Amino acid sequence: MSQNPYSQSPPPPQQQPPPMPYPQTPTGYYVPQPKRSVWPTVIGVISIILAAMGLLCGPVMTVINAYNPATRKVYEFLPDWYRTWEIGSMFVGIVFSTILLIGGILLLKRRPAGRTLHLLCAALSILIAMVNGLVLASVIGNTAGMPGPMRLGMIGGALGGSCGGLIYPVFLLIWFLRGAIRQEVDGWPIQDEASRPQ
């Protein structure tokens, strides 16, 4: 049986393009945003908590020391100006805590100014801690007649407070001076602009 020369074979089925991995929107295909890092939230919350403790504990401890018999006994062996120095340090601590609080809030909002305030607070905190350590060392070394246990207690408190107070500022300096962190923080305004509805 001969084939009809005028018969046509059915056209081959058209190949459909592979489906896109993302849903199509009126303006094009949706491209997911990169996953947001969680470190700004972690550091921001820690900074807010530490700042709140500094704003509360500094004045409270100053008042307690003023009326604590044991502390007043220690003041008898210290220079008269040391009490004024302590009160001044409390106000400096309030200023630093306020800077840290604002920096923590800005970090939660992913504002580049949060990194700047954290670096400023960390650098100043380390500087003041070193000055306080030198002042305490000078006071303790030149105090005559102070009992040995009382002197050891002051030395231990000074070392513990200085070393413990330097942990977070040193961490902040190391963390925020990293090139990757600086680059990420500088990109926050661009991400905010891109995430806004057109």
In this predicted model, what pLDDT tens digit does every residue of 113-128 receive, in sequence order? 999 999 999 999 999 8
Residue 19 has pLDDT above 60, yes or no: no
Q: Could you tell me if 54 and 97 are in contact, meaning their C-beta atoms sit under 8 angstroms apart?
A: yes
pLDDT at 49 over 60: yes
In terms of Cβ atoms closer than 10 Å to its own Cβ (0-12, 13-18, 19+), residue 81 is: exposed
Mean pLDDT value of segment 139-151: 71
Residue 171: pLDDT band (50, 70, 90) is very high
Mean pLDDT, rounded, of the chain? 80
pLDDT at 16: 60
Question: Residue 73 above 70 pLDDT?
Answer: yes
pLDDT at 11 over 80: no
pTM of the model: 0.73
CB-based contacts of 119, cutoff 8 Å, min separation 6: 172, 173, 176, 177
What six digits make up the tokens of 15? 């190949």
Q: pLDDT band at 173, cuts 50/70/90?
A: very high
pLDDT-derived band at 197 (thresholds 50, 70, 90) equals low
pLDDT of 48:
97
**pLDDT beyond 90 at 157:** no
**How many CB atoms are closer than 10 A to CB 180?**
7
Name the least confident of 15-29, 108-122, 159-173: 15-29
